[in-house]
Structures are given as C-alpha cells and as structure tokens.
Amino acid sequence: MDDDSRTGSLAPALERGHVREKVSVPASEAGAAAHADDPGGGRAAGLPVEPLGRYADVSLHREAKVTPGAVVYRLDDRLFLANARYFKARAHEAIRAAPAPVSWLVFDAEAVTHTDSTGLEALTTLVGDLRHQGITLVVARLRTEMQDQLQLAGATDAIGAGHFYPTVDAAVDAFIHAEAETS
C-alpha cells in the first residue's frame, strides 16, 4: 500500500457540478508517512483534482462553490484501533473548520475496507456526539462487506437505516432536499 492510500480528507460539500473542497491529512496515527511534496498533510487518493464537478481541493480550484451546512469527510484507510481516535478528531475538526454551521456530516466510506470493534465504537460514538450537537451523520459509498459489519455490530441502527447513500452526490442532494423542506 503506498502512502497516498492512507490519507483522509475533509470537504465541505459543494453545489452539484462544482468542485468539492477538501483538505487531506494522514489517516492513521500509527505509521502514515508525511508527504514531503504536500506540506498540508498529503493527498487523498480517489478524489481527483483535475476535472470540475468532482471532489477536489478548493485551494487548487478557487471557483468552487460550497453548499453551506454539509461537510464531506473521507477516510482512505481501515477504521480500526490505530486510527479510531484520529477519525473522530478529524471529523470534529472538519465541522469546526466549515465556513458555515454544519447540519450534516457525510462520511465517504468508499475506501474503508475493514473495521474492528474499536473502529465501530468510534463510529457509533461519533454519531452520538454529533447528534448532541444537532448534526446528522450520513454514510456514502459504503462497501457491501462493510454494510454487513455495521449491521451486525448495531452501527446501522445507531446511524439510522435511512442515512446510507450510494454516492456522495446522492447524500449531498438529500441534504439540500432536507434543508429545503425545513425552510
């Protein structure tokens, strides 16, 4: 596994058809190497920065338009003992760094291929922490095998069965729709 595949990224959600802001950081406290070519903390694999309309670093694409109230967080690693605390801390940091108050945290879980009991506990604890702050955690792009693990551990019930989306765009669209209904 190369170093780029062990990164996480934070991204306030942007309007459909525009770049999504991200800040990337090493995802594992135990062993993720710093990227000398990127003093900001690394690059997030799977979040292309070239084409508009995709998730990318807003520092490279100043024309990006943020969707206020939603933050996308991507973890490009397993969710397990070595990075569980880190995962929760980075999710909270993403929310604090958002340009507007956050209502939804979209967890882009496509790259999460494994979890253990510590990782599952971190996820369910994060759900509860965010709920106390009035923030809904939703999950996008979760792999089938991970869906099974979350279901068996009771994490699906903690998150809410209706808070799983096939794509990040679908999750952000659901957020926009939910916000329109409450306005």
Instruction: Tell me the average pLDDT across 29-51.
Output: 28
Predicted confidence (pLDDT) per residue in 96-155, tens digit: 888 889 999 999 999 999 999 999 999 999 999 999 999 999 999 999 999 999 999 999
More confident of the two residues 57 and 92: 92
Q: Total domain count for the chain?
A: 1
- List helix spans (H) across 15-167: 84-97, 117-132, 144-153, 155-159
Q: Are strands 66-75 and 7-14 parallel, antiparallel or unpaired?
A: antiparallel
The CATH number linked to 12 is 3.30.750.24
Residue 176 belongs to what domain range? 3-182
**Residue 104 burial class via C-beta count within 10 angstroms: exposed 0-12, middle 13-18, buried 19 and up:** buried
DSSP one-letter code for 50: S
Residue 14's DSSP bridge partners are 66
Q: How many CA atoms lie within 13 A of 100 on its CB side?
A: 12
Cβ contact 29:83 at 8 Å = yes
pTM of the model: 0.72
